[in-house]
């Protein structure tokens, strides 16, 4: 796995030995192609950060800042090492549960939120995805014109999302990428 493009393009990234399913280079390249220039100058939130590849790609492509939220200590160390190796500034690693972190964010803090939660392997991971989409915290943390980029298992339908409107969706093998905007009252 490597940084695809930008000032740190082609630098290889480490991946935690366990607990992660990193976004492939092909999927990341497609995601950032779809996002285009909105990454430049953006404040980004990378939830369930794993190796940090989505946030690090954002910094490499000109994001102002990225907050990486990951609950696994080993993964946090990998993200920190990847940031140092790529010599990218503006990254902040938070070793914290995603829902706990989101409950404390300021309204409209982020331009882009990436979320790559554990795929729905069981009822617990499926419930975590549903909770993420239903609790309003990501919507509150996102700027009015912001975008929420969600990775999920293509074969498992997304739940009803009364807080979100899907503006684009694409499937790459077993991965579905949904581009969501908040529905505001």
Instruction: Say how far apart CA 146 and CA 181 lie, in whole Å.
Output: 7
Q: Which domains does the chain have, with CATH numbers?
A: 25-182 (3.40.50.150)
Most confident of 49-63, 110-124, 125-139: 49-63
Beta bridge partners of 179: 149, 168
Which spans in 103-172 are helix H? 123-134, 137-141
DSSP code at position 62? T
SS3 assignment, position 12: strand
Contact 102, 141 (CB under 8 A): yes
Token pair, residue 37, equals 């220039």
pLDDT single digits (tens) 52-99: 999 999 999 999 999 999 999 999 999 999 999 999 999 999 999 999
SS3 assignment, position 167: strand
Please tell me whether the overall predicted TM-score, pTM, comes out greater than 0.85 for this model: yes
Instruction: Say how far apart CA 144 and CA 183 lie, in whole Å.
Output: 9
Angle at 184 between CA 182 and CA 69, to 5 degrees: 40
Distances (CA, A) of 135 to 8, 16, 102, 132, 141: 35, 29, 10, 6, 12
Q: Could you tell me what percent of the chain has a pLDDT over 70?
A: 94
pLDDT single digits (tens) 24-65: 889 999 999 999 999 999 999 999 999 999 999 999 999 999
């Amino acid at each position: 796995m490597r940084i695809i493009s930008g000032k740190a393009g082609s630098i290889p990234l480490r991946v935690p030995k366990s607990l992660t399913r990193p976004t492939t280079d092909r999927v990341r390249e497609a995601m950032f192609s779809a996002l285009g220039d909105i990454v430049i100058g953006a404040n980004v939130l990378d939830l369930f950060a794993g190796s940090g590849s989505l946030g690090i790609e954002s910094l490499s492509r000109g994001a102002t800042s990225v907050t990486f939220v990951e609950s696994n200590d080993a993964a946090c160390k990998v993200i920190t090492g990847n940031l140092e190796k790529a010599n990218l500034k503006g990254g902040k690693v938070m070793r914290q549960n995603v829902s706990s972190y989101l409950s404390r964010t300021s309204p409209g803090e982020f331009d882009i939120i990436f979320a790559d939660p554990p795929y729905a392997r069981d009822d617990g991971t499926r419930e975590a995805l549903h909770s993420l989409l239903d609790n309003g915290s990501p919507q509150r943390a996102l700027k009015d014109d912001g975008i929420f980029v969600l990775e999920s298992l293509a074969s498992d339908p997304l739940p009803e999302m009364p807080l979100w409107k899907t503006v684009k969706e694409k499937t790459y093998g077993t991965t579905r990428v949904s581009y969501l905007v908040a529905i505001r009252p």
